[in-house]
Structure 1
């Protein structure tokens, strides 16, 4: 059985018979043609894996033949040339050759080139699987060595790295092993947060990670300088793996200076975590300082209307109110177009805050719309949709317009999301909130092992909506359902992306600092 089918096009093909024989002995099926016209006809009528194409031939040249082949089929083409001039190489690469070889070529050179093209996926998959097998034990040992909050950030970065690498592997068994290890990590992470979260919230010293309410003070404002322009982009609900999916697009225009994670506060939900970021306060203190602006889950009205006011107050508190800043929130496509049109005017400010609300809408819409459940059925496709959105988004257009200016760019998010699969029953009175990953209310009834519970919300830095209200947060990939209509809700929400609870995906979120190239 042939390894792959090759077409070799060269006007002196009779001189290459020994090479042809060598490849055939290696299992390749090799067809030959002596000119471009015949080559294009052959490509039209046959299934091929690679074309080896001579650059100088009578009739039409190799570059012209390449163009005609690409019009017929998207197939890997290796250009073989005597000519090493730079402009020819640039033209060939610009015409989408897969590789090129310089004459005279030896048989092993050609074989290596073919292996690289045809066997690349298989070789990468095998290498990934064996490398992960070696890492598996290391990760397992780290998980069991009582990691601190910095080590947890490293563990999650490694897991995201391997999750992306596993996409290259065609081994369902190894992917299953990886998913099991990720699940174990989330189990340990839940125990870690349960044990330490209240201490961080009440920490008076430095013994706490950077969290939503300390992000500006510790990570962003130290980067803002008078007379320089800094953009702070907050993409709502962006997980670390989704950042990794869009990172290559940023790297076309920007240089990454720092790539880190920080901890979202609980609940990992927009009204809590994002208000905490802009106010520099925990929700219990936001309610105290801004009683008319803070709204609890069960109150009517939008919960994120006052971010700009909260931010002004934070600047004043930190004695940084001489910073000239703008605040832009993009909720609809029209807002995005306005941002594209207005981006140059923002260059006069020290700091420009842009809150972009697409990924959150995607995750909510995916829950409601069958077509999006198909398009974003799992983590891989969820990342893919995020990348496709960003590539064609007004945000990307706007940033490209200022990429040639001397700017600093900081990207972060308010929280992530987790794909839920484990339903847990919760009983509460009429005042109990409807969120799937966290709930607050009086007389909550639940299995203690399923949740992180705060009988006194103030221990978690949260307001007390009603007397005797407590908060519970779902662990790992659990979601909280009421007993009434239980089966309907279990099936409706299973395998959807939700946020508000305790998981690495929701709490360990990206912080990235970039400069223009």
Structure 2
């Protein structure tokens, strides 16, 4: 098997015989042609890995040949080889999607390096990634076993996300399996860490805890709001740290990323709790006390996230920041997204613009979000890919591009992440028990204690008490909570779906990113 099939097109091909021989000795199969017409015919009839193409040839030029080749097969890599160093030609060639550009005279190693970059790139990058991870594996293992604090956990999770994305470049299933085992082990340790520390963090008397949902705006948004420079606080629901990394390059095209930070979502890591806590600046138990009419528990009728703007304006008042000229926009469907695109310039007159974007809802429209995600995102890699594709073509991206040349600050965050669930756990409850798969509350919950983090007194962790003797349980790691009736059906239906509400690195440690115009 040759290392790759190469077509070399040059009207002075005789003078390149030694170079062709050099490549053949290295293991490449090389076909030599002297003009563009023959080259186009050859590409039409033969599979190739790379075309090496001279620019100045009689008949049709290299650039004309290039465009005809791209019409036949737009994916084929083409390396332009020319005596001409003019900038126009380079611009034309690059604009026509060449893969590399070499100036004559070329030496054999230059050509070899170009071929290696193109053909062997994936393999070489994969091997290098695997080696680098093997070296890092021990460091991560030591970090996990040295009783990390909440800052160190954020750092560990960032490193795991980094290696997860790097592992996509590796073709080694063995290394991916080793990485997955390490990530699972990290989640096991993280669950123990949260079980030990969470109640202390949300105790009103404690100031020894990370930035969490209920103090996010106070510590991470308001300090950046300044008169004369509009700040956009954008909250995209369900955005995990790895999904942020997937869309980060798109933001980087238009904005300068100043700080890539993270914070902890409160429990349950679910929209009505975490997002209401963000905008009210309060834990759910205090929202219920202060806004008894507006707060709805899981088992009550009515929308659970209808009053965020009201909570937010009351929060600004309590912070004595009601001098801030603020807007609040919630995007629940594509029409609202288009309205944002049309209206974005009008928001530049405000000090602070809140934009809440329901990414998962937008994906799913009228169908259940789970059904859509099961089809589109069967694993983390495809979930990231869907996120990137969605954001790239979203009205949110269009709207932000329209104001990228203005002096603005952007703070991007989310309410919570999601985790892909794989391990079912049985829970028995009465009729009042909630149906969520990653957390439940009810009066007579029956469960395996090792599967969950349980709080018999919800007040201890800043949660309302829906009914007397209600307790809350949160699923650990990749578990999902199923009732005994129809157990096998639900186990199979929900396995490998993305859920939220429980305790995992993916759900609890989430991004908060600060950007500005370039």
- TM class by shorter-chain length? over 0.9
Deviation digits for residues 443-471 of structure 1 (CA, Å, limit 9, x no counterpart): 11111100001100011100111111110
Instruction: Note the C-alpha offset of 1:82.
Output: 1.1
Q: Is the 8 A contact 2:83 2:103 kept in 1?
A: yes
Q: Specify the SS of the correspondent of 1:252.
A: helix
Deviation digits for residues 261-304 of structure 1 (CA, Å, limit 9, x no counterpart): 10000000000000000000000000010010000000000000
Is 1:183 the counterpart of 2:155? The answer is: no
C-alpha spacing 1:380/1:149, structure 2 compared with 1 (3 Å): same
Q: Is the 8 A contact 2:360 2:369 kept in 1?
A: no
Q: Is the 8 A contact 1:239 1:505 kept in 2?
A: yes
C-alpha spacing 1:440/1:383, structure 2 compared with 1 (3 Å): same
Q: Is the 8 A contact 1:367 1:496 kept in 2?
A: no
Instruction: Note the C-alpha offset of 1:361.
Output: 5.5
Q: Which residue of 2 is the match for residue 376 of structure 1? A: 377
Q: Specify the SS of the correspondent of 1:88.
A: helix
Q: What pairs with 1:242-391 in structure 2 (closer than 5 Å)?
A: 242-359=243-360, 362=363, 368-369=370-371, 372-391=373-392
Q: What pairs with 1:75-86 in structure 2 (closer than 5 Å)?
A: 75-86=76-87
Q: Is the 8 A contact 1:336 1:394 kept in 2?
A: yes
Deviation digits for residues 427-450 of structure 1 (CA, Å, limit 9, x no counterpart): 111111111100001011111100
Q: Is the 8 A contact 2:332 2:362 kept in 1?
A: no
Give the whole-Å Cα distance in 2 for the aligned partners of 1:182 and 1:274: 27
TM-score (normalised: structure 2): 0.98
Is 1:72 the counterpart of 2:72? The answer is: yes
Give the whole-Å Cα distance in 1 for the aligned partners of 2:128 and 2:375: 31
TM-score (normalised: structure 1): 0.98
Instruction: Note the C-alpha offset of 1:69.
Output: 0.8
Is 1:61 the counterpart of 2:81? The answer is: no
Give the whole-Å Cα distance in 1 for the aligned partners of 2:77 and 2:32: 16
Instruction: Note the C-alpha offset of 1:227.
Output: 1.6
Q: Is the 8 A contact 1:231 1:410 kept in 2?
A: yes
Q: What pairs with 1:10-159 in structure 2 (closer than 5 Å)?
A: 10-74=10-74, 75-159=76-160
C-alpha spacing 1:201/1:266, structure 2 compared with 1 (3 Å): same
Q: Specify the SS of the correspondent of 1:104.
A: coil
Instruction: Note the C-alpha offset of 1:488.
Output: 1.1
Q: What pairs with 1:174-253 in structure 2 (closer than 5 Å)?
A: 174-202=175-203, 204-253=205-254
Is 1:513 the counterpart of 2:507? The answer is: no
Give the whole-Å Cα distance in 1 for the aligned partners of 2:69 and 2:362: 42
C-alpha spacing 1:366/1:380, structure 2 compared with 1 (3 Å): farther
Where does structure 1 lack aligned partners over 5 or more consecutive residues? none
Where does structure 2 lack aligned partners over 5 or more consecutive residues? none
Give the whole-Å Cα distance in 1 for the aligned partners of 2:127 and 2:196: 40
Find runs of 4+ consecutive structure 1 residues off by over 6 angstroms.
none
What number of residue pairs does the alignment pair up? Answer: 516
Q: What pairs with 1:383-402 in structure 2 (closer than 5 Å)?
A: 383-402=384-403
Q: Which residue of 1 is the match for residue 411 of structure 2? A: 410
Give the whole-Å Cα distance in 1 for the aligned partners of 2:56 and 2:328: 59
Q: Is the 8 A contact 1:40 1:69 kept in 2?
A: yes
Give the whole-Å Cα distance in 2 for the aligned partners of 1:159 and 1:512: 18
Q: Is the 8 A contact 1:325 1:351 kept in 2?
A: yes
Give the whole-Å Cα distance in 1 for the aligned partners of 2:488 and 2:144: 35
Q: Is the 8 A contact 2:263 2:511 kept in 1?
A: yes
Deviation digits for residues 22-55 of structure 1 (CA, Å, limit 9, x no counterpart): 1111111111111111111111111111000111
Q: Is the 8 A contact 1:210 1:218 kept in 2?
A: yes
Q: Is the 8 A contact 1:456 1:470 kept in 2?
A: yes
Deviation digits for residues 453-500 of structure 1 (CA, Å, limit 9, x no counterpart): 110001110011111111000000001111111111111111110000
- What is the RMSD of the two structures over their aligned residues, measured on CA atoms? 1.2
